[in-house]
A and B are shown apart, each in its own frame.
Chain A
Amino acid sequence: MRGGLLNLRIWRDPILVAISLVALWQVLHEIAGDSAVTAPAPTLAHLWEMIGQARFLPHLRETGLAFLQALAIACGGGVLIGVVLGGHKLTGEVAEPILVALYSVPKITLYPVILLLFGLGMPAKVAFGALHGIIPVVLFTMNAVRNVNRTYLRAGRAMRLTPAQTGWYVLVPATLPEIFSGLRIGFSLTLLGTMLGELFASQRGLGFLLMTAIDLHDVKTILSIAVLISVFAIGANAALLAIDKRLHRGAAPEAHEKP
């Protein structure tokens, strides 16, 4: 069963989706005309050309750096806060509704506040990206820590594990799959937040290029950048999803092996 056939199956769906999306894009182009939606082939050629240009790279680096820093804060801080909130019952109960309310509020309205606090530039973008990403990471980690099977902890105590050993051999394997799901969502939201931050009051980065392209009515550039970001987002998400599935699958059989 596992072999060429399975491989073909894995690749068939994404390829079909990609082909149909490009086809849809072409159809939209035929309907809307060149001034609204440029055709796929010239746009991709334009994107390729743009990536080669020296003046494009600083923008890409700016966005990339902002995103990576925001991601590091969201993941590191989120897991840390989540572990604390999950480990202490009352603190978790106090914080959870506040976090959920914050999660569903349009955080973009808070962006001016962040701009005032951090000033224009990189720190504000990083803070805004991290603000978007950190909440799901906290919520997922908190749930993961809360739902650790008490039996595992008791078994650990029976085997006289030190606290460090309990953490490494019991808590980490038990919580990792769910925390990773949170990190995956945090990844997407951090990217969203960073992009949002760049679209408003920014002087560098891909978002800034998008906004200048609107003023110039440069549809080709808008589409190129949007496609670049989407391809990156979808690719990264697919990779994370694959790891995620593997972790969740790994969690079950291990429990069977050592009853």
Chain B
Amino acid sequence: MSKAGWIRTILLVGAVGALELACRTGAIAPTMVTAPSKMVTTLVETLRSDEIGMHLQHTLSAVAIAMSIAIVGGFVIGFVLNWVPFLRRAFSPFLAAYYAIPHFAFYPLLIVIFGLGPVPLIVLATLFAMVAMILATMAGLDRVPRVLLKTARIHRLSLVEEIWRVRLPAAAPHILSGLKLAVAYSFIGVIAGEFILSTSGIGHEIAFAYDNFDNPRMYALILFVLGIVTLFNMMVFAWERRMLRRRGA
């Protein structure tokens, strides 16, 4: 590990230790923050005992569906927009302003349209995640070096072959970073939606525990969500790094 890595680890461990100490000695009231050790023990109990599996399943399936639609749809739309200049000109101002809109303001509307359930969550998360994928795909395809396309023409590749063997691999780094964003945004969309208003899911469970002053359970679940999402993001990150290294980049 590098020097910075060591310092970072020590810093994080120290912060958790300080929090533990402050909670144990009563410097921080248990009504505010519970001790990290208690978060972990409560988490183990929660995971073992009650119906948390069902909530987890609801959340993860919604995330998985939103993520798949966002990634596949975003890629296809980005590809088409890049291919047809007219469409691109028409949509690009819209895409540029897209992430300025606070999407969650539209969640109430989605609930009214689709009813309370998994559908508005999936729609919200897809809307949130897809445009990142569209933008990344377009950026990637834009930056394919001209010389590669010329080489493809010299080798008389067919259009499909040119796309498959030249354009896509050359655009891959950008597309991958879009994919990374799409994964993170799907999680954020689903969990935030559950948190605001829903009947099941991990986000809802946290909000429910908060409403019932059940701090230990709330902190345990927060820790759980942050853990899962960080793990997932790190997996995508590691995968991206491996792909990039194989390309020699």
Binding site for B on A (CB under 8 A): 13-14, 16-17, 20-21, 32, 35-37, 90, 93-94, 97-98, 101, 104-113, 115-117, 185, 187-188, 191-192, 195-196, 199-201, 206-207, 210-211, 213-214, 217, 219, 222-223, 225-226, 229-230, 233-234, 236-238, 241
**Judging by beta carbons under 8 Å apart, are B97 and A195 in contact?**
no
CB-based contact B97/A237 at 8 Å: yes
The 8 Å CB contact of A214, one of B32, B112, B218, is B112
Report which residue of B11, B89, B106, B230 has the largest number of chain A beta carbons within 10 angstroms of its beta carbon: B106
Name the prevailing secondary structure of the B interface residues: helix
Q: Which residues in A have their C-beta under 8 angstroms from that of B188? A: 106-108
**Contacts A101-B230, A106-B188, A109-B222: A36 and B100 contacting too (C-beta < 8 A)?**
no
Chain B residues within an 8 Å CB radius of A185: 99
B93 touches A111 (CB 8 A): no
Distance (whole angstroms) from the CB of B206 to the closest CB of chain A: 6
- What are 29 contact pairs spanning A and B, CB under 8 A? A17-B90, A17-B93, A36-B112, A94-B7, A105-B184, A108-B195, A108-B203, A109-B195, A111-B195, A112-B206, A112-B209, A116-B31, A117-B32, A187-B100, A192-B104, A195-B102, A199-B107, A199-B196, A200-B196, A201-B210, A206-B105, A211-B196, A214-B112, A214-B197, A219-B109, A222-B108, A229-B101, A237-B97, A241-B96
A14-B93, A32-B113, A237-B97 known; A230-B225 Cβ under 8 A: no
Which of B31, B99, B192 contacts A188 (CB under 8 A)? B99
Interface centre among A97, A188, A192, A195 (most CB of B within 10 A): A192
Closest to A212 in B: B108
Tell me the dominant secondary structure on chain A's binding face: helix
Inter-chain contact A225/B94, CB cutoff 8 Å: no
Query: 5 closest A-B pairs (Cβ-Cβ)?
Result: A237-B100, A93-B4, A104-B184, A112-B210, A108-B192
Q: Which residues of A contact B31 (CB under 8 A)?
A: 116
* Minimum Cβ distance to chain B for residue A139 (Å): 14
Q: Which residues of B contact A (CB under 8 A)?
A: 2-4, 7-8, 11-12, 31-33, 89-90, 92-94, 96-97, 99-109, 111-113, 180-181, 184, 187-188, 191-192, 195-197, 203, 206-207, 209-210, 215, 218-219, 221-222, 225-226, 229-230, 233-234
With a CB–CB cut-off of 8 A, which chain B residues contact A116?
31-33, 215
Q: Are A210 and B108 interface neighbours, CB within 8 A?
A: yes
A97: B residues at CB distance < 8 A: 8
A32 to B109, CA, bound (A): 12
A90 vs B7: C-alpha distance when bound (angstroms)? 9
Q: Among B100, B103, B226, which residue has its beta carbon within 8 angstroms of that of A236? A: B100
Given A36-B113, A90-B7, is A113 in contact with B222 using a C-beta cutoff of 8 Å? yes
B113 touching A105 by the CB < 8 A rule? no
CB distance from B214 to the nearest CB of A (A): 11
Asked whether B105 lies within 8 Å of A229 as measured between CB atoms, the reply is yes
Given A109-B225, A117-B32, A238 and B11 contact (CB-CB distance below 8 Å): no
- B229 to nearest A CB, angstroms? 5
B102 surroundings in chain A (CB, below 8 A):
188, 191-192, 195-196, 229-230, 233
A32 to B113, CA, bound (A): 8
Q: Give every chain B residue within 8 A of A188 (Cβ-Cβ).
A: 99-100, 102
Chain A residues with Cβ under 8 A from B230's Cβ?
A: 101, 105
